[in-house]
Copies of this chain bind each other. A is one copy, B any other.
Amino acid sequence: MEPERGSQTEIRVRYAECDPMGVVHHSNYPIWFEAARSTFCRERGIDYAQMERDGYAMPVVELHCRFIKPAYYEDLVVVRTWPKECRHSLLRMGYEVWRGEELLTEAETLQMLIERASGKPRRFSEELYERFMTPRKG
């Protein structure tokens, strides 16, 4: 983790997110990672909804998760996310889910900046690159 460049999002586990094993179903983690990216963008002044209205999108093209320990109903977990790499049209983000001092999940996504109409990849502008990759000042 590179805390100086990352964001933290608190999530209270919902009952509907848990499965018959009594633990959070793994399909919910990508949704939490996305919530974490939303926090990250909000904190960096990146308006993703506006990017979509401007004709761009950033679909997830790769997802890698390692589930280490389960999360339970009513747990208060923290999802950390930080940028790992940004090149051409690709952005790689890292994630960790923590419950207190316990690391529950590690993950990574690869996202591609595309033009919505054509689906074609688009290079990150200098400005957008800076917003994603530059550590926030204190």
Question: Which residues of chain B are near A49, meaning CB under 8 Å?
Answer: 72-74
Do A63 and B62 form a contact, CB below 8 Å, given A22-B20, A31-B27, A73-B49? no
Judged by a CB distance under 8 angstroms, whether A44 is at the interface is no
Verify A62–B61 contact, CB threshold 8 A: no
Judged by a CB distance under 8 angstroms, whether A86 is at the interface is no
Verify B12–A16 contact, CB threshold 8 A: no
Do A31 and B14 form a contact, CB below 8 Å, given A21-B59, A63-B26? yes
Q: How far is the CA of A12 from the CA of B64 in the complex (A)?
A: 25
Q: Mark A13-43, 1 if CB is under 8 A from B, else 0.
A: 0111011111101111011001100100010
Verify A59–B67 contact, CB threshold 8 A: yes
Verify B62–A116 contact, CB threshold 8 A: no
Of A14, A27, A48, A65, the most chain B CB neighbours within 10 A belong to A27
Given contacts A18-B19, A63-B63, 16 further A-B contacts (CB under 8 A): A14-B31, A14-B35, A14-B38, A15-B25, A15-B34, A16-B30, A20-B20, A20-B52, A26-B63, A27-B28, A27-B30, A27-B31, A38-B74, A62-B65, A62-B66, A62-B67
Chain A residues with CB under 8 Å of chain B are 12, 14-16, 18-23, 25-28, 30-31, 34-35, 38, 42, 48-49, 52, 57, 59-68, 70, 72-74, 116
